[in-house]
A and B are shown apart, each in its own frame.
Chain A
Amino acid sequence: MIPERLVTIGAVAGLLAVALGAWALGEIFTITLATRAAILALAATGLNIALGYGGLVSLGHAAFFGLGGYAMGILAFHAQSYTPLELGSLTIEGTKSMPVIWLVAVCVSALAAWVIGLLSLRTGGVYFIMITLAFGQMFYYFAISWSAYGGEDGLPIYLRNSFPGVDTLVPVQFFGLCFAALVLALLLSARLRSAPLGLALNAARQSPARVAAVGISPTRVKLVAFVISGAITGLAGALYADLNRFVSPAMFSWQLSGELIVLVILGGVGRLAGPVIGACLFVTLEHWLGGLTDFWHVWLGAILLGVVLFARGGIVGLLTGKAGPHV
């Protein structure tokens, strides 16, 4: 069986190789697909921190994904229409600079994760699932009726935002940015897993009472993890909006929250490589099954059932021969 470390490196290198290979062959669309996979992997890496490490089954992560997307959309919208954003007496200029947008996306989604986390962590288990789902829907309905930023129609951004030293309009360069963000998030995620916070989180998942006994509040540990998780998913949302040059309430939809969970499980819960492999597999399946039949969701559902019932550890579990942590 293959050591997990090797699987992780292999998955990340594989994604890079696909993009570079496509670039060499001039297959621009394959680069776009690889970029999509990298961004979804980033979002799922965020979710994996809550889900895999903390055992927090969030069915509302689309809220953070969407907030990241709208942070990008709103800032870029004000920049492209040369109108400042008025917040009461505060006037904020729009911007097309990715670093600024990313910072805002991360802060906004972290803040939202903190509030949602505070409310939903008052309980646990199945309450947590339903409450996160409900809050996600709340954002969805709000975004639909918020006509200032397009409502259901969404908000098109005509030019991709800029990053110093990078021509983001060239697909392979934009892929490079997303890939770098993914690698950084994976490093952070790996670091977190072995840091005191990660260990406390792991313990809080398995036995909250014991963690509490050594003087750590399990709720606070989970809350911190949830905030980090939401922030990373928010960053992915901003990138995703830039990939599509478009934001819409669909980014808040609960199906998207479900799909993010699917990515993590397909790959392997709590595994570093899980989200990466899951995202690559999902994008491939979507592309390939979607080309074969209009009813590809039936087959996707069947595959998922197979994974849940017969391959609990996901792909990484199959490769490493170990089941993942019990969530």
Chain B
Amino acid sequence: MKHLLLATAACAIGATAAMADVKVGMITTLSGGGAGLGIDVRDGFMLAIEQSGRDDIEVVIEDDQRKPDIAVQLADRMIQSEEVDVLTGIIWSNLAMAVVPSATAQGKFYLSPNAGPSQLAGRGCHPNYFNVAWQNDNLHEAAGAYASEVGYSNSFILAPNYPAGQDALTGYKRLFEGDIAQETFTQLGQTDYAAEIAAIRASDADSVYFFLPGGMGISFLKQYADSGVDKPVIGPAFSFDQGILQAVGDAALGVTNTSQWSKDLDNAANQAFVESFVAEYDRLPSLYASQGFDTANLLISAMEKADVSDQDAFRAALEEADFDSVRGDFRFGSNHHPIQTIYAREVIEEDGVYTNRIIGTALEDHADVYAAECNM
């Protein structure tokens, strides 16, 4: 796959070889646990490149194995030997923190299709860093706001004990107006939640909020559904994404989750995206695929306005974000993070496939709280 893309891109360069092509380095997770996310970002990104019909973009794709040291090494190689203009692709916050500060300091653009750690949104923001997905807190804040809106007044909240988990609970509490029945940190990678579920059952909470990405969420939901505890559950989109939902099965039905995108979002760009993604890859697109798709389209929109070698002009073009996002309206805040609407979705079964549908709006035109700390 990778070499095929490179080969076509290389031929294309041979053909045009004229003015400044853009070389993109994509570092993403394609093997090991979590590979599904990277594959979706890559497929969404490449779909947009293909649809643009442009032959002046070369994409070098490498697998970071979800290891920070490998990611740093790949970034070094892409900057030092491949001399890319733009880096993108990283899924995990910890890998982003390892790569992004040094890449932007070396004068490269970084467009984040997923991770949005608070450090990079606040004091550590950088003119060459753009986040096309969200600041990490966004979906959690939306969940807190939505929980208040539907009338929950006492939440049991849980997340793994690592920075993203701690941020998640902080994010939820920021906009949740009710009380917190109990706050629990689980182990990262924990697979058995019997103890936490027992505590939920014993608590007087009227709702449960959890952030447990990947396999942890699958385990939790299955065990929760089987426990017979019937307190309503709410979570961010990560545990209810297209790739994961099939593994959760019935246990996820009816659960509310927050997301800035959904496959039933009613706009032309999104309908075309969903249709062409299914045609190309024979599966429904995920949240990550939509983010990859938007990232590539942002890049293309900037290329139409400016030459990448003129950094100031290219940056200004990126800031305009003049492209048809699959989320509808899309613009950047002062810290280069999206200001966007976040929806509440519900898990449903449709033609034998588990998927989501929008049931309401959690937050309108929401910006992150770190923008104020960013001076650039």
Contacts and interface: CB of A to CB of B under 8 A. Distances in A.
- Do the two shown chains form a genuine complex with each other? yes
Interface of A: 27-30, 32-33, 36, 141, 144-145, 147, 150-154, 156, 158, 171, 240, 244-246, 248, 250-251, 290, 294-295, 297
Given A28-B80, A141-B187, A240-B69, A154 B63 contact: no
B246 interface: no
Interface in B19-63: 30-31, 63
A246 B2 CA distance: 28
B122 interface: no
A245 B72 contact: yes
A154 B80 CA distance: 24
B76 interface: yes
Interface in B315-372: none
A244 B68 contact: yes
Nearest to A286: B70
B94 A244 contact: no
Contacts of A152: 94, 162-164, 188
B98 A248 contact: yes
A294 B188 contact: no
Interface of B: 2, 30-31, 63, 67-69, 72-73, 76-77, 80-81, 93-94, 97-98, 101-102, 105, 117, 161-164, 166, 185, 187-188
5 contacts: A144-B162, A145-B161, A151-B162, A156-B101, A290-B63
A29 B80 CA distance: 6
A246 B69 contact: yes
Nearest to A150: B163
B163 A36 contact: no
Contacts of A290: 63
Contacts, number: 85
Contact of B31 (A27, A250, A251, A297): A297
Nearest to B96: A153
A34 to B, nearest CB: 12
B103 to A, nearest CB: 11
Nearest to A246: B98
B63 A250 contact: no
A27 B83 CA distance: 11
Contacts of A246: 68-69, 72, 97-98
Contact of A154 (B30, B94, B187, B188): B94
B98 A156 contact: yes
Contacts of A250: 67-69
A193 B355 CA distance: 64
B187 A294 contact: no
A27 B80 CA distance: 8
Contact of A151 (B30, B69, B163): B163
A152 B93 CA distance: 9
Given A29-B77, A144-B188, A158-B102, 15 more contacts: A27-B81, A32-B73, A32-B76, A145-B187, A150-B97, A152-B163, A152-B188, A153-B163, A154-B98, A156-B102, A158-B101, A246-B69, A246-B97, A248-B68, A250-B69
A137 to B, nearest CB: 11
Nearest to B100: A156
Most chain B C-beta atoms within 10 Å of own C-beta, residue among A158, A240, A246, A290: A246
Contacts of A36: 73
A147 B163 contact: yes
A-B pairs with lowest CB-CB distance, top 9: A152-B162, A29-B81, A28-B80, A153-B94, A246-B98, A244-B72, A29-B77, A153-B163, A145-B161
A82 B163 CA distance: 22
A240 B70 CA distance: 12
Contacts of A27: 81
A32 B74 CA distance: 10
Given A153-B117, A153-B164, A244 B73 contact: yes
A240 B72 CA distance: 11
B161 A144 contact: yes
Nearest to B115: A153
A295 B98 CA distance: 24
A28 B162 contact: no
B294 to A, nearest CB: 24
B349 to A, nearest CB: 32
Contacts of B187: 141, 145
A32 B72 CA distance: 11
